[in-house]
Amino acid sequence: MFRYLTAGESHGPALVGILDGLPAHLHLDVGAIDATLTARQGGHGRGGRMKIERDRVEFLAGLRGGVTLGSPIAVVVRNHDHATPHVRALMDPLSGSGEPLTNPRPGHADYAGALKYRERDLRNVLERASARETAMRVCLGAICAQFLAALGITTHSAVARIGEVAATFEQWDDAAVEASPVRCPDLAISAAMTAAIDAAKAAGDTLGGTVLVRIDGMPAGIGSNRQPAQRLDGILAGALMGTQTVKAVEVGDGTAIAGRPGSAAHDAFALRDGAVVRASNRAGGIEGGMSNGQPILLRIAVKPIPTLMRALPSVDLHAGAPAPATVVRSDVCVVPAAGIVCEAMVRLALVGPILEKFGGDSIEETLDNLARSRAASAALFERTPVQR
């Protein structure tokens, strides 16, 4: 059974994660994990905090000589900001204290969390709810990416819209994405996005946008139609919508499909050199809640972050009087980072259903089972039926 837990406050000592259920004997490339952490910190439009942090993964368990043991993997990403005396005074696990924050930010967890936890200091809510938490998702997702890669499965993300600036590409390669400061592979649009972010910054405003995630190399038959909660599209949408700032998730042609007739909404089967092929991928690689062997395509809309330098109207909850929302150091646009985070969530979401089908306590065992499954799939519809 694959599962994970994360912990960590935005200004506490560290983010912590435990990843349980990855097979033994996977050789981890630690540099690749750190590079993904760095990618999350980047993108045009990030604020001051990202200049302080230099996120690096530290392994405390589950690894020996860079190879997984099959035991749970424990990782830590330090919050360098916590070393600052005034931050430590505020957030030390044993001694931290400070004046309460009282003016909730519209769009943030502040108010809902205060009611949930019967909490009069909004800081005690926002520290966990902060998007800083996503650094650990990215870290664990980057570990999972190496498991997936061993099976031939890769994930890719790109930015398709920032504010009013939208691109129209449908395919992309990672190099073009990496070359853009906003992770948009269309260079002209990328420049317009950058300008839009600068304008928003000047106005004390923030911008949202749209990111695409693609999964290549997925074997068919992952996910299940057995129970509602086992469908792969549901699992992926749940993971993505459970991410800070995400407000919409589409699979394949998504909302556009609602306006089309059935004759223009599906992916016809054909034969090419004896193999079953598809003429299109409107379904986005998932039919009946299961991967169908095509690339999986996901489109995710993220809202502008709720902390604006020109603070939104709010209320001082202690005073019972109108007041501007609390302003904390923040970013103008996190859409490029959101692509990295969404990719991480997709990686984390895939491992469970994959291990459920193929099993395996060591990567050798999982690969054995995957190879045998592929061979059986290939033989399934040969003219002479397989014997049972």
Residues 228-247 that bind its own copies (CB under 8 A): 228-231, 233-244, 246-247
Binding flag, residue 1, its own copies (CB under 8 A)? yes
Query: In the window 123-152, what residues touch its own copies (CB under 8 A)?
Result: 124-125, 127-129, 137
**Given the complex with its own copies, which of 58 and 174 has the nearer CB atom?**
58
Instruction: Specify the stretch interacting with its own copies by CB under 8 A; choose among 144-152, 173-181, 182-190, 287-295.
Output: 287-295
In whole angstroms, how close is the CB of 38 to its own copies at the nearest point? 18
Query: In the window 358-377, what residues touch its own copies (CB under 8 A)?
Result: 358-362, 364-365, 368-369, 372-373, 376-377
Which residues fall within 8 angstroms of residue 346, CB to CB, at 6 or more apart?
A: 141, 155, 213, 215, 236, 239, 240, 298
Coil, strand or helix at 228: helix
Side by side, the strands of the sheet bearing 58-61 are: 3-7, 14-20, 73-78, 58-61
- CA distance readout (Å), 354 to 223, 316, 371: 8, 49, 13
Binding flag, residue 327, its own copies (CB under 8 A)? no
Tell me how far apart the alpha carbons of residues 381 and 11 are, in angstroms, rounded to a whole number: 57
**Given the complex with its own copies, which of 173 and 377 has the nearer CB atom?**
377
Binding flag, residue 293, its own copies (CB under 8 A)? yes
Q: Show the binding pattern over residues 240-279: x = contacts its own copies (CB under 8 A), - = does not.
A: xxxxx-xxxxxxxxxx-xxxxxxx-xxxxxxx--x-x-xx
Instruction: Specify the stretch interacting with its own copies by CB under 8 A; choose among 1-9, 45-53, 147-155, 180-188.
Output: 1-9
**Burial grade of 9 (CB within 10 A; 0-12, 13-18, 19 or more):** buried
In whole angstroms, how close is the CB of 256 to its own copies at the nearest point? 8
> 54, 152, 164, 169: which one contacts its own copies (CB under 8 A)?
164
**Given the complex with its own copies, which of 23 and 185 has the nearer CB atom?**
23
End-to-end CA distance of the chain: 29
- Contact of 43 with 167, CB cutoff 8 Å: no
Binding flag, residue 169, its own copies (CB under 8 A)? no
Tell me how far apart the alpha carbons of residues 26 and 17 are, in angstroms, rounded to a whole number: 18
The pairing of beta strand 296-302 with beta strand 246-251: antiparallel
The footprint of its own copies on this chain (CB under 8 A) covers a number of residues equal to 180
**Given the complex with its own copies, which of 86 and 118 has the nearer CB atom?**
118
The count of C-alpha atoms lying within 13 angstroms of the C-alpha of 253, restricted to the half-sphere facing its C-beta, is: 16
Tell me how far apart the alpha carbons of residues 291 and 350 are, in angstroms, rounded to a whole number: 11
> 35, 52, 61, 83: which one contacts its own copies (CB under 8 A)?
61
**Of 203, 210, 165, 199, the residue nearest 308 (C-alpha):** 203
Query: In the window 11-40, what residues touch its own copies (CB under 8 A)?
Result: 12-18, 20-21, 24-25, 30
Binding flag, residue 320, its own copies (CB under 8 A)? yes
**Given the complex with its own copies, which of 71 and 173 has the nearer CB atom?**
71
> 43, 45, 163, 336: which one contacts its own copies (CB under 8 A)?
163
Phi, psi of 282 (to 5 degrees): -65, -30
Instruction: Specify the stretch interacting with its own copies by CB under 8 A; choose among 36-44, 176-184, 187-195, 199-207.
Output: 199-207
Binding flag, residue 385, its own copies (CB under 8 A)? yes
**Burial grade of 165 (CB within 10 A; 0-12, 13-18, 19 or more):** buried
Binding flag, residue 109, its own copies (CB under 8 A)? yes
Binding flag, residue 60, its own copies (CB under 8 A)? yes
Please report where in the chains the tokens 């109108």 appear, as a residue.
Answer: 322
> 48, 51, 86, 94: which one contacts its own copies (CB under 8 A)?
94
Q: Is the dihedral of CA 118, 119, 122, 126 positive or negative?
A: negative
Return the number of other C-beta atoms located less than 10 Å from residue 203's C-beta. 12
> 34, 38, 41, 69: which one contacts its own copies (CB under 8 A)?
69
Over the Cα atoms of the chain, what is R_g? 23
Which tokens in the block code for residue 279? 């003429």
Binding flag, residue 92, its own copies (CB under 8 A)? yes
- Contact of 110 with 104, CB cutoff 8 Å: yes
In whole angstroms, how close is the CB of 156 to its own copies at the nearest point? 20
In whole angstroms, how close is the CB of 175 to its own copies at the nearest point? 25
Binding flag, residue 325, its own copies (CB under 8 A)? yes
